[in-house]
Amino acid sequence: MRYSLLAGGKRVRPILCIAACELVGGREETAMPAACAVEMIHTMSLIHDDLPCMDNDDLRRGKPTNHKVFGEDVAVLAGDALLAFSFEHVAVSTVGVSPTRIIRAVAELAKSIGAEGVVAGQVVDIDSEGLSDVGLEKLEFIHLHKTAALLEGAVVLGAIMGGGSDEEIEKLRKFARCIGLLFQVVDDILDVTKSSEELGKTAGKDLVADKVTYPKLVGIEKSREFARKLNKDARDQLAGFDPDKAAPLIALANYIAYREN
Amino acid sequence: MRYSLLAGGKRVRPILCIAACELVGGREETAMPAACAVEMIHTMSLIHDDLPCMDNDDLRRGKPTNHKVFGEDVAVLAGDALLAFSFEHVAVSTVGVSPTRIIRAVAELAKSIGAEGVVAGQVVDIDSEGLSDVGLEKLEFIHLHKTAALLEGAVVLGAIMGGGSDEEIEKLRKFARCIGLLFQVVDDILDVTKSSEELGKTAGKDLVADKVTYPKLVGIEKSREFARKLNKDARDQLAGFDPDKAAPLIALANYIAYREN
């Protein structure tokens, strides 16, 4: 659990969670357990994703994948325990938030990873491998669930913990969905334009696995154009907030859009 | 998720959860979401347990195991989604319980399955395979975590939802630990004394996997004697409760002790 959780990574989700909390007037420490929980869940999904029966990846965050070091059985269990601990951590360690809001956060967190969230995207993704009729609509479903759902969970949890109104939470939810699609479009582009060394993980694997990607459907240039549009749409959602407090989220959107790995 | 969750099974954990709720004065429907959540988590641990990289089982509850029907990748994801949904279900569907108690229940549920619960037992169990120095102490650690932890989670959740006092919850916790050991001792005995057909799952697999069991360490007769002692210890924990309300839990202890599959 520690090996994969503390292996570095961009920490995009916990940063989103804390930034969303601060945007609606909350404090960093109020969102910290939720931020850690979201990163635990992200790590768990990476550990399980990397298994031989899934993406069969040897490298993650520049290090051998969990099952390469500890064996497949322990990797499955480490993921399970990280998933369970994420809920325990939110329930036990969140301070200064009403119990009703904590319960709402638990429900949102669960939904973001489960059969209506990340898992939905992964299953449709698996079912689509090797199919020739995967269009933009299905690709968007996959990304909105596989990638955006947990980013959405991160900002929604942050906003819940920070005392955000329902209206604020919904704007942040839309922001996260744009960012989520953006993140995946950029990931697709990087996979075909960068080396394994530059990425810290195996490059070109989407091509090898015959997966549908934005570059494959619409080409690299149109993919980059779509990324720019998503970045703008995301920033538009933040227009009604205090610009100083929205700045970190806008910077994060730009970071996602223009990252190199 | 539905295939494995609705495949039958003894439903020992949800029954324990509801019985514990009623024992402390609560109503069945108050504990029902928690009872379902515990069964989802149990099912998830069976799906992951049955994977080729774990116990590599083909048969469960008299049907082909999840990965045999849906593939290993979907089986991993079905387990993950069941685990997530269990927390969502407790958070969203529990009615008539204070938010503070629901949060306590979420924390207990998470602890029962995670690195201090079922997973701890599974990892030590995996590490012990093929070792010749596994004694009673380590075997008890394995069973108290691998099996008892989730039964403990079931009764503690039931008692929390039913409005039980801390003292009542602790008695039920001890009851569950006895029942948990009892359950596993009986399982060990059945594995070497019954056929696959009688069990509805592969018989003799502990011998094949070279796993340490009570029958292997102390023989069948002493294992049966230990089972009787655990049954008595479990019933002793219920002495202070209304005998009518304790009757279902005592019957369940007897059912576990004297079951044939």
Q: Which amino acid belongs to residue B201?
A: K
Question: What is the Cα–Cα distance from B75 to B63, expressed in whole angstroms?
Answer: 14
- For tokens 């004694």, what's the residue? B135
pLDDT of residue A100: 98
pLDDT of residue B196: 75
Q: Is the pLDDT of residue B201 over 80?
A: no
Q: Is the pLDDT of residue B52 over 80?
A: yes
pLDDT digits (tens, 9 = 90+) for B144-156: 999 999 999 999 9
pLDDT of residue B235: 94
- Residue A145 DSSP one-character state: I
Length of chain B as a residue count: 261
* Number of independent structural domains in chain A: 1
Instruction: Please count the other Cβ atoms lying within 10 Å of the Cβ belonging to residue B104.
Output: 20
**A261 within some domain:** no
Instruction: Please count the other Cβ atoms lying within 10 Å of the Cβ belonging to residue B117.
Output: 27
**A3 within some domain:** no
Tokens of A201: 């993980």
Q: Is the pLDDT of residue B210 over 80?
A: no
Instruction: Yes or no: say if A123 and A45 are a contact pair by the CB < 8 Å rule.
Output: no
pLDDT of residue A10: 85
- For tokens 């007897």, what's the residue? B254
Q: Which residues in B lie closer than 8 A to residue A76 (C-beta atoms)?
A: 48, 51, 53-54, 76
Taking residues A13-26, report their average pLDDT.
Answer: 96
**A260 within some domain:** no
- For tokens 């969750």, what's the residue? B5
Q: Do A110 and B99 touch (CB under 8 A)?
A: no
Domain that residue B177 falls in: 2-258
pLDDT of residue B193: 87
Close Cβ partners of B212 (under 8 Å, ≥ 6 residues apart) = B128, B131, B134, B138, B139
**A2 within some domain:** no
What Cα–Cα distance (Å) separates residue B215 from each residue in A231, B74, B147, B190, B246?
A: 64, 36, 17, 10, 31
The proportion of chain A whose per-residue pLDDT surpasses 70, expressed as a percent, equals: 98
Considering only CB atoms, which residues of chain B are within 8 Å of chain A?
1, 44-45, 48, 51-54, 71-74, 76-81, 83-85, 87-88, 91-92, 98-100, 102-104, 106-107, 109-111, 113-115, 117, 119, 122-123, 126
Q: Which of A86, A103, A142 to mutate to test the interface with B (most CBs of B within 10 A)?
A: A103
Taking residues B33-53, report their average pLDDT.
Answer: 97
pLDDT of residue B209: 67
Partner-chain residue, chosen from B72, B81, B87, that has the shortest CB–CB distance to A119: B81
Taking residues A229-249, report their average pLDDT.
Answer: 94
Question: What is the Cα–Cα distance from B42 to B179, expressed in whole angstroms?
Answer: 16
Tokens of A180: 């989520």
Count how many Cα atoms sit within 13 Å of the Cα of residue A192 in the half-sphere of its side chain. Answer: 21
Q: Which residues in A lie closer than 8 A to residue B1 (C-beta atoms)?
A: 115
pLDDT of residue A19: 96
Q: Which of A88, A101, A123 to mutate to test the interface with B (most CBs of B within 10 A)?
A: A88
Q: Is the pLDDT of residue B248 over 80?
A: yes
DSSP secondary structure string, B126-195?
HHHTT-S---HHHHHHHHIIIIIHHHHHHHHHHHHHTT--HHHHHHHHHHHHHHHHHHHHHHHHHHHHS-
Partner-chain residue, chosen from B74, B91, B102, that has the shortest CB–CB distance to A126: B74
What CATH number does residue B126 fall under? Answer: 1.10.600.10
**A28 within some domain:** yes
Length of chain A as a residue count: 261
Instruction: Yes or no: say if A27 and A165 are a contact pair by the CB < 8 Å rule.
Output: no
Instruction: Yes or no: say if B107 and A91 are a contact pair by the CB < 8 Å rule.
Output: yes
Q: Is the pLDDT of residue A209 over 70?
A: no
Question: What is the Cα–Cα distance from A22 to A20, expressed in whole angstroms?
Answer: 5
pLDDT digits (tens, 9 = 90+) for B102-124: 999 999 999 999 999 999 999 99
Q: Is the pLDDT of residue B253 over 80?
A: yes
- Could you tell me the pLDDT band of residue A62, with boundaries at 50, 70 and 90? confident
CA distance B91 to chain A (A): 6
- Could you tell me the pLDDT band of residue A193, with boundaries at 50, 70 and 90? confident
Which of A111-120, B4-13, B109-118 has the weakest average pLDDT? Answer: B4-13
**A1 within some domain:** no
Q: Is the pLDDT of residue B203 over 90?
A: no
Higher pLDDT residue, A211 or B143?
B143
Question: What is the Cα–Cα distance from A231 to A175, expressed in whole angstroms?
Answer: 9
**A150 within some domain:** yes
Q: Which residues in A lie closer than 8 A to residue B91 (C-beta atoms)?
A: 103-104, 106-107, 110
Residue A60 pairs with which residues in a beta bridge?
A63
Instruction: Yes or no: say if A44 and A79 are a contact pair by the CB < 8 Å rule.
Output: yes
Q: Do A106 and B106 touch (CB under 8 A)?
A: yes
